């Protein structure tokens, strides 16, 4: 897996932390669709996402501006999928939005 490539700061990070419910029918397909859709959002810069064996997941999506975050938040299919997440797929979740002021990178190869 490659880490998201982001520009020089400042930019924004939306951190979505969740605990996936045992009733996850349809979740993985919906998540794949959201990753596909967000890539087409103007101002979207990339994302990093992981989920562990305890069903805890963290997705960090990077955006150029708060306006870009709002466009993604209001995207109609995303609105519907968020509702399904609240009702069925997540036992708990939290969303945090932060402005990235500094970023450092190290990589091999």
Taking only the tens place, the pLDDT of each residue in 50-95 is 999 999 999 999 999 999 999 999 999 999 999 999 999 999 999 9
Using DSSP bridges, classify how beta strands 44-51 and 56-63 pair: parallel, antiparallel or unpaired: antiparallel
pLDDT score for 106: 86
Please state the length of the chain: 109
What is the CB neighbour count within 10 angstroms for residue 65?
A: 13
108 has a pLDDT exceeding 90: no
1 has a pLDDT exceeding 80: no
pLDDT score for 57: 98
Beta bridge partners of 73: none
pLDDT score for 109: 58
Instruction: For the chain, give the DSSP string.
Output: -PPPP--SSPEEEEEEEEEE-S--TTHHHHHHHHHHHHTTSTTEEEEEEEE-TTSEEEEEEEES-HHHHHHHHT-HHHHHHHHHIIIIIEEEEEEEEEEE---------
pTM for the structure as a whole? 0.93
Tokens of 72: 């993604």
């Amino acid at each position: 897996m490659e880490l998201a490539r982001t520009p020089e700061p400042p930019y924004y990070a939306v951190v979505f932390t969740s605990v996936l419910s045992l009733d996850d029918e349809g979740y993985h397909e919906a998540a794949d669709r959201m990753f596909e859709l967000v890539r087409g959002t103007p101002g979207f810069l990339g994302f990093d996402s992981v989920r562990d064996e305890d069903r805890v997941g963290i997705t960090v999506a990077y955006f150029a501006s708060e306006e870009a975050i709002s466009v993604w938040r209001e995207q109609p299919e995303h609105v519907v999928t968020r509702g399904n997440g609240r009702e069925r797929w997540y036992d708990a979740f939290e969303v945090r939005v932060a402005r990235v002021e500094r970023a450092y990178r190290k990589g091999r190869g």
